Structure 1
Amino acid sequence: MANTGSGENFDYIVVGAGSAGCVVAARLSEVPSNKVLLLEAGGKDSHPYLKMPIAFLKAVPDPRFNWPYMTEPEPHLDGRQLPLPRGRVMGGSSSINGMFAMRGHRKDYDQWAQMGARGWSYAEVLPYFKKLESSWRGESLYHGGDGPMQVRPINSPLLHHEPLMEAAHDAGYSTSEDLAGEKQDGFARGEMTVDDRGRRVSASTAYIKPAMGRPNLEVRSGVLVRRMVFEGKRCVGVEIDSEQGTQIIRANREVILSGGTYNSPHLLMLSGIGPAEHLREMGVEVLHDSPGVGRNLQEHANVSMEWFATKPVTFLTQLRWDKIAINSLKWALFGKGPLGLQLNSCNVVIKTREELDRPDIQFMANPIRFDAQTWFPLLKPGQDHVFWAGLVALHPDSRGWVKLKSKDPRDVASVTLNLMAEESDLATMRAAIRAARKIYNTPPQANLIGEERMPGVNVESDAELDAFIRATCYVAMHPTSTCAMGMGERSVVDSELRVIGVEGLRIADCSVMPTVPGGNTGLPAVMVGEKCADLIKGQSLPAAELPPEKAA
């Protein structure tokens, strides 16, 4: 039985200090009369790995910062179980991700509105993308100049940006000066959420740390929320684990669930909201039958390709031990040098078929091998120099699901991504591999590469490529849509992010998205948080007045 004797109560309780939850809590606390509690199951975000941009390669696999989630055996990936990195610290995955600043295509959001998510068209979400952003480009029709999230270009001669940009036209593609501007496809310089001091900008550093002095905001880490608490069908608080046992904290106005694409449906189901038959099987009393909870799961499948370099010019040169030591000092003191970078040569967002209305693949082009290690002459020999590209299928047709393993809150959710269930997704990835071969074998990029290391030129037929994809594909860390709006009878939330069938409960994270945006989901998650906070306040920024879309 939960302990209700503490008498703690707040106006708003935000569950999950991730990319959206931090935003919601900070924005609600801007109103002095709002008493706001932000709860995070993970720990603090103070470790240097979470500050130094290049150290995300160390942070992602580290169990101190990452929940050790795995899929169930994937039915269309030879039964493999895939790691599902999710941030285990304040800021959630914004504290461990690759910091890539991208929004997706305008048609992604117009599709949401067409599906029934009123208020979520591109013109209606663009003001919130601007509100969150402090762009190196300055204030404009498409960019914000003074928002909490600093966005800077990925710009270093060490990253070999120019050869890919020069190869674009000869390979049959266009370039763009700004993928968030008028022309939202082509080859472009990548951008990152890194500040002027060379530090990662997470939702925690951008929103919560500046708000910590407010007397009406309380932030607690290391707190496991077991379930939402209801009186009738109104959510009145949350049940947490505490040193005194389970405890109930009450919310006078609303609870905002921001647990993320895996944890938000998990908590809903533990609270009795979800597919009734599944809940009964797990021994959970049904509060509201909501068949869409945990369904419609989408994730960007990612496949790696690699080419041997013809010269020792990749970023591996910067991983010699003495250079790492010198550059660490340079970064710590001045925020300068290669350790303050995201290692992206070029952001390539293109169509594999001319008839498509938006790009269907993205190449994360990187001048370094996927398994790069530090080295030192004679003591630890260096690896071969390799160029690596991560190929991302932006609009998957396959859909997965999240279920309960048991009714124990400490038993993590059962996740099946169901990647490559649809033949169309395999076809897209095959086309991506063939496009990457064409691009990388076009001068001047071709002058930097030699033999194809992975999958190898002998892997050519559809059947051979399918086998390679199934054996090697992994996640881009962009899961969405398990508590989606705009899904008709299977909608979990309405267009104001209120959970359908109950009162006093909203969801703000990537789980509410009807479809996964065509790009990295870090900034879209922050956008959802910004818009949710305004919806709770009963206000909305006016829609942007936009010129017609610029043709490719």
Structure 2
Amino acid sequence: MAAARPGDVGQPRRAASRHALRDGDRAAPHGAHLRRGQRADARRRGVTAGPFEGDWDHIVVGAGSAGCVLANRLSDDPKRRVLLLEAGGEARHPYLHVPAGFLKTFRDPRFNWNFSTEPGPGVDGRSIHTPRGRVLGGSSAINGHLWVRGSARDFDDWAQAGCRGWSFTDVLPHFRAIEDYRNDAYRAAGGPQHVSDIPQTHPIVAAFLDGAAELGLARNPDYNGARQEGAFTYQRTIRNGARFSAASAFLAPARGRANLRVVTGATVLRIETAQGRATGITFERDGRTLTARAGGDILLAAGAIGTPHLLQVSGLGPAALSQALGVAVVADNPGVGENLQDHYAMRVVHRVTRPVTLNEQARPPRLWWEMARWLVARKGMLAFSPAHAGAFARSRETLEEPDLQFVFTPASYAEEGVTGRLQDTPGMTIGVWQCRPESRGFVRARSADPRQAPAIQPNYLMAEEDRAAAVAGLRLSRRLLGTGALAPWSAEETAPGPQKESEDDLLAYARARGSTVYHLCGTCRMGGDDAPLAPDLRLRGIAGLRVADASVMPRIVSANTNATTMMIAEKAAALVRGGA
């Protein structure tokens, strides 16, 4: 481990250190010699203007969905000094607050890591764009807002696979603790994360729900409640017409605490270790290399790509990979970076008979009116999540639970995938993906330089079961868009196109046009002795280091992953503090 330097963010604690931390909503710069304007600028940028003294009790790497929860819950104890490191910046841009701004952040490097997968043999050799949040709030600041927990069976399967303490009964209190929705046996009100229902139902969305009922998919009033199956309008992380990310819900209320410091623009370089223990984090900020020290647990919350990559370049992943990279092996964890899972979606698109879809609302002059509505009242098209309605359904009656998830929107897109640039003509789209894919991939460092993006290979559609589910999902999507209730709205199918009918045709379409739904997980799974993490989220082979993000999932949930990621962080904070 490198010796402490004058620029280190965390040298041995001195008696005056706690008093030196007070400075509004962040720990104070230890640079009283600076002029007032310089100190104010340092506060705005979230970084010390000079060295300051004192070790941290905890360092959290990554201020995404998980990191914001961890920072809030751990710093709630005034005796714990918490440092939160984030590579991105503050979430100030309007795109990060207007719900419809999601489409604008899709490839914007100011807020997005913009990863790409390796060319995939199951997807016609394509490399697929893979957005990940790079801003306070992480992917919760750029995602599609949907709040979906998964089924009870998902978590019971985790427990059966060796993750004791992670059954549905075990995790339900943590889901309820983070949520502000409504009070019943499954849900809760009063938590930090606000969840809302869609405020009004578009007439095409109402027709979709009626059509789903024609096919036996009854309206489900709460798919996050007693049962998952059925059709519904989506619950969203939107509050009063604006995005309510993990940074809004958890980090903003905590930033006034004297024992929490948030450092943005911090590119983490490696985990420091000594005598079998993780002791600190070295990171780069404004051209300076700094090392923060931790006396208690360091918590990695950099996500399913960032967390395994950091472990690998720190010598805490597979020994063979470390050696190939020229990185000293600290602990051999062969499973770090393996077990990558994601939801792979296809879409079916219809042209709509009347100009009443979001496609028309998103073009001037109507767009100007919608912008004014949002600015004045936080209402209108810009206040909606991209997906309005959806369903969980079984591809065949013999299944015990749904194996397909659907998203429906009164809009259509010109680019590949479920979202992208809106088409010029009226349209409606249904996207579908398999709930629990069997294909497994990996995340692997390409070099010892942590700044170089790792190789990401999800291996989409490599499992036979996944290919069969893709075809079944497309067929059921066609049935959902072909109901009597939607007939007055539907002009024709434009994708895949009515000429594509055989199993081979539909599978070819899935390979050529499908895309990620941004639910990457599983790359540092918890489980039994063969897993990189113990069920208490400690990395095997090293003390003082836990992982608490989507990478810990042993198996992907049958849902969007944001809610579960936040639950994982909530439970992780309880574990650190000595609870369950």
Taking structure 1 as the reference length, the TM-score comes to 0.93
Q: Considering only aligned residues, what root-mean-square deviation do their CA atoms show, in Å?
A: 1.6
Aligned 8 A contact 1:75 1:418 in 2:
yes
What is the correspondence of 1:10-89 to structure 2 with a 5 Å cutoff? 10-89=56-135
1:280 aligns with one of 313, 323, 326 = 323
Aligned 8 A contact 1:149 1:193 in 2:
yes
What is the correspondence of 1:318-397 to structure 2 with a 5 Å cutoff? 318-371=361-414, 383-397=424-438
1:420 maps onto 2:461 in alignment? yes
In the TM superposition, what is the alpha-carbon distance from 1:343 to its structure 2 partner? 3.3
Aligned 8 A contact 1:13 1:251 in 2:
yes
- Which whole-Å deviations, capped at 9, do the CAs of 1:326-381 have from their partners, x for residues lacking one? 32222223222221111333211111022222211111111001239xxxxxxxx9
1:526 aligns with one of 566, 572, 575 = 566
Match of residue 507 from structure 1: 547
1:222 aligns with one of 260, 265, 269 = 265
1:468 aligns with one of 496, 502, 509 = 509
| Structure 2 CA distance for partners of 1:174 and 1:280, relative to 1, 3 Å | same
2:237 aligns with one of 193, 207, 216 = 193
Structure 2: distance between partners of 1:244 and 1:262: 24
Aligned 8 A contact 1:3 1:247 in 2:
no
| Structure 2 CA distance for partners of 1:243 and 1:453, relative to 1, 3 Å | closer
Match of residue 157 from structure 2: 111
1:267 aligns with one of 269, 290, 310 = 310
- Which whole-Å deviations, capped at 9, do the CAs of 1:183-229 have from their partners, x for residues lacking one? 2111112110001x211011111111111110000001100111110
Match of residue 459 from structure 1: 500
Structure 2: distance between partners of 1:526 and 1:244: 32
Match of residue 548 from structure 1: none
SS of 2:115's equivalent in the other structure is coil
| Structure 2 CA distance for partners of 1:97 and 1:216, relative to 1, 3 Å | same
Match of residue 195 from structure 2: 151
In the TM superposition, what is the alpha-carbon distance from 1:316 to its structure 2 partner? 2.0
Structure 2: distance between partners of 1:124 and 1:159: 40
Number of equivalent positions: 528
- Which whole-Å deviations, capped at 9, do the CAs of 1:43-102 have from their partners, x for residues lacking one? 111100000001111112211111121111112211110111000100100000000011
Structure 1: distance between partners of 2:3 and 2:126: 42
SS of 1:88's equivalent in the other structure is coil
In the TM superposition, what is the alpha-carbon distance from 1:159 to its structure 2 partner? 5.8
1:170 maps onto 2:214 in alignment? yes
1:132 aligns with one of 178, 182, 187 = 178
If asked which structure has higher relative contact order (CA below 8 Å, sep 6+), I would say 1
Structure 1: distance between partners of 2:113 and 2:525: 23
Match of residue 543 from structure 1: none
Structure 1: distance between partners of 2:200 and 2:359: 14
Moved more, 244-253 or 9-18: 244-253
Match of residue 547 from structure 1: none
Amino acid at match of 2:197: P
In the TM superposition, what is the alpha-carbon distance from 1:406 to its structure 2 partner? 0.2
Flag structure 1 segments of 5+ consecutive residues without an equivalent.
373-380, 541-552
Taking structure 2 as the reference length, the TM-score comes to 0.89
SS of 2:242's equivalent in the other structure is coil
Match of residue 102 from structure 1: 148
| Structure 2 CA distance for partners of 1:412 and 1:431, relative to 1, 3 Å | same
- Which whole-Å deviations, capped at 9, do the CAs of 1:219-253 have from their partners, x for residues lacking one? 01100111110012100111111446422210011
Structure 1: distance between partners of 2:262 and 2:375: 28
Amino acid at match of 2:148: M
Aligned 8 A contact 2:193 2:244 in 1:
yes
Aligned 8 A contact 1:159 1:314 in 2:
no
Structure 2: distance between partners of 1:143 and 1:420: 35
| Structure 2 CA distance for partners of 1:498 and 1:382, relative to 1, 3 Å | closer
Moved more, 503-512 or 348-357: 348-357
Amino acid at match of 1:203: A
SS of 2:57's equivalent in the other structure is strand
Amino acid at match of 1:129: F
Moved more, 32-41 or 73-82: 73-82
Aligned 8 A contact 2:64 2:301 in 1:
yes
Aligned 8 A contact 1:167 1:442 in 2:
yes
Structure 2: distance between partners of 1:310 and 1:321: 20
SS of 2:306's equivalent in the other structure is helix
| Structure 2 CA distance for partners of 1:330 and 1:451, relative to 1, 3 Å | closer
Match of residue 291 from structure 1: 334
Amino acid at match of 2:375: A
Amino acid at match of 2:4: T
Match of residue 224 from structure 2: 180
1:122 maps onto 2:163 in alignment? no
1:257 aligns with one of 300, 324, 328 = 300
In the TM superposition, what is the alpha-carbon distance from 1:317 to its structure 2 partner? 2.9
In the TM superposition, what is the alpha-carbon distance from 1:3 to its structure 2 partner? 6.2
Instruction: Determine what percentage of the aligned residue pairs are the same residue.
Output: 39
Structure 2: distance between partners of 1:328 and 1:457: 37
| Structure 2 CA distance for partners of 1:139 and 1:481, relative to 1, 3 Å | same
Structure 2: distance between partners of 1:91 and 1:150: 14
Match of residue 488 from structure 2: 447
Match of residue 248 from structure 1: 291
Aligned 8 A contact 1:105 1:184 in 2:
yes
Match of residue 546 from structure 1: none
Moved more, 157-166 or 181-190: 157-166
SS of 2:297's equivalent in the other structure is strand
SS of 2:289's equivalent in the other structure is strand
